Structure formats: C-alpha cells, structure tokens
Chains A and B, each alone.
Chain A
Amino acid sequence: GENVEQHPSTLSVQEGDSAVIKCTYSDSASNYFPWYKQELGKRPQLIIDIRSNVGEKKDQRIAVTLNKTAKHFSLHITETQPEDSAVYFCAASSNTDKLIFGTGTRLQVFP
C-alpha cells in the first residue's frame, strides 16, 4: 500500500537557523503534497502544499520542493523562531483524496 517516510524524527535548531524536513512517498500516482503543523492536543494546520505540476512553492519563510522522479519532497523553514516549535507532518495524496501521513518531525527552536 501507499507509504510515506519522513526524516528526521526530531530536529533541534537555534533561533534564526534554517530547518529542513524530508519525505519520500511510494505511490507514483500521488499528486498532492501538503505539510501540516500540529501543536500538542490540537488539530493539524495546513502550512503549505504543493501539487505535482510544480517543483517549488514558497510562502514567506516556508518553502516546499518536489522531485517527482525521485518521489521526494521537502519542507524548508528559514529564519526559525521559537513559535515554529511543533510537530510537522508531511502527507501525500492521489486523486482518491485519501491523505497518507508521514511519521512526523518534532521541531524545537531554541532562543
């Protein structure tokens, strides 16, 4: 079945540094790749997404890149702030709309 792997599982950075989280997926039919930020006990919040017709998308300090050939996509957060600390999940979906989530990355940004 579909599988999404996510690395690293934990990531600690100094405030102002960049953070990169990587995901790989198995289903070549996947065409939608969202990233979610989840704080403890709360719902996942969509922070950025990318569809398979583009290779990169940027929104202020957040960017996502997609390599369909290699089935890789990555989240880049620049100029990290303590409030960026949370668990981040990647996900992949094909036209069936079903989201398969990665295992999550706990990001800690130290002041």
Chain B
Amino acid sequence: GAVVSQHPSRVICKSGTSVKIECRSLDFQATTMFWYRQFPKQSLMLMATSNEGSKATYEQGVEKDKFLINHASLTLSTLTVTSAHPEDSSFYICSASDSYEQYFGPGTRLTVT
C-alpha cells in the first residue's frame, strides 16, 4: 500500500516557540492532505484540509494563524504550530489521499513544556 511519512516522530519544545511537522507521501502524488489532532484516549479530530498550491481549509474552532499549513507540492505538506503552549501538546497525524483512500502517517507526538 501507499506510504506516508511524518517527521519528526517526537518533539519537545518550550512554551512560546514554534514547531514544524512534515508529512510526505513517498510513493504517490496526493491530491489532498489532511491534518488531525488526537488527545489521549480521544478520537482523531480533523484540523484542516490541504490542497497543493492553494490555501488550507480549516475546521471550525481551529485557528489558522496558530496552525500554519503549507502544501508546496503533491508529496509534501507541513504543519507549523506557532507560539506553542502546553495545551497544544497532542498527537498530530497527517493523511494523504489519492482520491480513493486516505493513507495515514505514523504521527508526531508534540510535548510543550
């Protein structure tokens, strides 16, 4: 099946700093990429939908100025958590779609101290 990678797998940062997470589709060109956030023992919550070359579409309640998404190519999307705070600590998972199925990355565990 299709492979999606994420980098880094774990990151610890200090409150007030910014963190960038990369999501890559390794063996296919993704028409759309998605970013999810998952708090402990909870479900995956969609944050935004990202299409190559256009602005991301954010879900209600997700601050677009805080969670910056750049989708520069059909194989790479990045999520930058700006001015991170402890409440942003979570498991961030991306997925890439080939219009038939979504393929998930391995996730990034963000801890903000």
Which residues does A use to contact B, with CB under 8 Å?
Answer: 1, 34, 41-46, 49, 89, 97-104
User: Which of B41-49, B63-71, B73-81 faces chain A?
Assistant: B41-49
B105→A43 contact, CB < 8 A: yes
Closest 8 CB pairs of A and B: A43-B104, A101-B43, A101-B44, A43-B106, A104-B43, A103-B43, A97-B97, A44-B104
Question: At the interface, is chain A mostly helix, strand, loop or mixed?
Answer: loop
Q: How far is the CA of A100 from the CA of B102 in the complex (A)?
A: 12
Q: Which B residues are in CB contact (< 8 Å) with A43? A: 93, 104-107
B106→A89 contact, CB < 8 A: no
A47 to chain B, nearest CB (A): 13
Q: How far is the CA of A102 from the CA of B91 in the complex (A)?
A: 17
Question: At the interface, is chain B mostly helix, strand, loop or mixed?
Answer: strand
Say whether B60 faces chain A, with CB atoms less than 8 Å apart.
yes
Say whether B32 faces chain A, with CB atoms less than 8 Å apart.
yes
Point out the residue from B43, B99, B102, B109 that lies within 8 Å of A89, measured CB to CB.
B43
Point out the residue from A1, A41, A42, A46 that lies within 8 Å of B101, measured CB to CB.
A46
Contact A98/B49 with A41-B109, A42-B107 known, Cβ cut-off 8 Å: yes
Q: Which A residues are in CB contact (< 8 Å) with B93? A: 43-44
Which residues of B14-50 have CB atoms within 8 Å of chain A's CB atoms?
Answer: 31-32, 34, 42-46, 49
Q: Which B residues are in CB contact (< 8 Å) with A42? A: 106-107
